[in-house]
Amino acid sequence: MAVEQAEPTEVLRRVGQNLARLVEDGSTIECGIGRIPQAMAEFLHDKKELGIHTEMFGDWILELIECGAGDLHEENHQPRQGVASFCMGSQRLYDYINNNPMFEFHPTEYVNDPFIIAQHDKMVASTSDWRST
């Protein structure tokens, strides 16, 4: 079932802009549920080679791939995939991810495992404030 997210408020956009400053080129990002990840994504468009290891794919991932910031192609001759446990968003998101080898799904016990997360260089996590959803 498609779930459309509300546009972030100006306050949430400023939060997203501040969070985006913590993300360097080549970082791996985790974005939580809500409007904060969507707000942060719009300020990551000028970044390069961002990996995605997150609990949930939202529509924000489409923005990052389309602008070239989200790098889900190849790394060291190995396919680099976006990793998540589930996705929630628009029908466009579901259609894009469906049978797309750039995306890989694992149980939350794997995705949220600190040992697995620690293997990523420059990991930056943004979890959403419950009031922003």
Q: Which residues are catalytic?
A: 55
* 62-to-69, 114, 119, 120 alpha-carbon distances in Å: 10, 26, 24, 21
Under the phi-then-psi rule, with left for phi > 0, alpha for psi from -120 to 50, and beta for the rest, what region is 85? Answer: alpha
d(CA 17, CA 36): 10
